[in-house]
């Protein structure tokens, strides 16, 4: 018996089929975030404005990668935060201390990613 079948009925795909499915699911996730999450759209807009600017402000390839990479980190953390929030809301809209804690921790992660981006941009621009 295939042990993967016991974990989830969706774990059976392998090889190229798995890669294609994963790509399709990932693109659907990005589209859902862009459609339903205001914060994600705002951060995506920030990336669209600042990424081209990174090529002029960064003096080296490493600086450019840091400037753009920290912006992508903000998007990644926002996606995870949005997934946590959607999961908590799917379970219940009822006020619960653990639901609040999960949402607050996700929000804190986004805030730290934004502070990191501000620090990286500030440090590179001022140096």
Q: What is the pLDDT of residues 58-101, one digit of tens each?
A: 999 999 999 999 999 999 999 999 999 999 999 998 999 999 99
| Residues known to be catalytic | 78
Residues 26 and 45 in one domain: no
* pLDDT (0 to 100) of residue 39: 97
Tell me the average pLDDT of the chain: 93
Query: In whole angstroms, what separates CA 44 from the centre of its chain?
Result: 10
Burial of 116 (0-12, 13-18, 19+ CB in 10 A): middle
Residue 28 and residue 69 in one domain: no
Model pLDDT for residues 89-121, shown as the tens digit of each residue: 999 989 999 999 999 999 999 999 999 999 999
Report the number of distinct structural domains present in the chain: 2
Structural domain range at position 115: 38-126
The more confident residue out of 2 and 32 is: 32
């Amino acid at each position: 018996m295939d042990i993967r079948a016991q974990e989830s009925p969706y774990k059976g795909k392998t090889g190229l089929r798995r890669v294609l499915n994963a790509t399709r699911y990932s693109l659907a996730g990005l589209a859902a975030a862009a459609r339903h999450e205001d914060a994600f759209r705002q951060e995506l807009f920030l990336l669209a404005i600042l990424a081209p600017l990174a090529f002029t402000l960064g003096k080296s390839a490493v600086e450019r990668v840091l400037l753009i990479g920290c912006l992508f980190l903000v998007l990644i953390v926002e996606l995870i935060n949005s997934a946590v929030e959607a999961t908590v809301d799917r379970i219940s809209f009822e006020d619960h201390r653990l639901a609040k804690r999960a949402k607050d921790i996700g929000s804190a992660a986004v805030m730290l990613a934004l502070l990191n981006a501000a620090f990286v941009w500030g440090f590179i621009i001022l140096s």
